[in-house]
Chains A and B, each alone.
Chain A
């Protein structure tokens, strides 16, 4: 157990729907990162939050949004879902904001299937 908790583990939904993925970071970690893993794109960075504030943005679609709450858990909202959004979504956390030596600790992932 890495200490990073993601729910749900699996999610099956239809095109056009909206889903929310949840992440609780490791105790003491202030930064949360979201990644998307698909067969054709590999591991893509979506977005980072640090202590409640958006810190960095990657290849996140406009249909996707995220936030980090005062208790430091984070949610990734995916809307108007398309077949191509089917992927494994990972959350990771780290203690500091941008230290080069930071190690990201990953959760087990949420597998989203869009039918």
Chain B
């Protein structure tokens, strides 16, 4: 079964410092991986995805993620954190069915709360 794990409930970073939010995955079939962000009292917003190709994926708001097949990881990164980046971040993997292949829905991790202090 497809699953993702976000080992940190919270990440604290000083503004201007680089940030990393960790995600590891377990999949059957191709790993279609996603990052979403949720601001307070808002829905989830898409940041970036890995489908195939370059291991470094660039997304919205200056975020990027590195796909590492050998470590089964898909960590979210940003070179210089902003206070406005403070939010809840979710890693997700596309579901997979052995009969039908890739499914439509996403399976989400528990989320990591990012706090960026001035």
Q: Residues of A at under 8 Å CB distance from B?
A: 2, 4, 31, 33, 35, 42-43, 45, 48, 50, 55-56, 58, 90, 92, 94, 96-109
Contacts and interface: CB of A to CB of B under 8 A. Distances in A.
Main secondary structure of the interface of B (DSSP, over half): strand
Interface of B: 30, 32, 34, 36, 41-46, 49, 51, 90, 94-95, 100-111
B61 to A, nearest CB: 15
A107 B44 CA distance: 8
Contacts of A92: 44
A107 B109 CA distance: 19
Contacts of A107: 43
A45 B106 contact: yes
Contact of A2 (B32, B34, B43, B101): B43
* 4 A-B pairs with least C-beta separation: A106-B43, A43-B108, A100-B102, A100-B32
A106 B105 contact: no
A90 B51 CA distance: 24
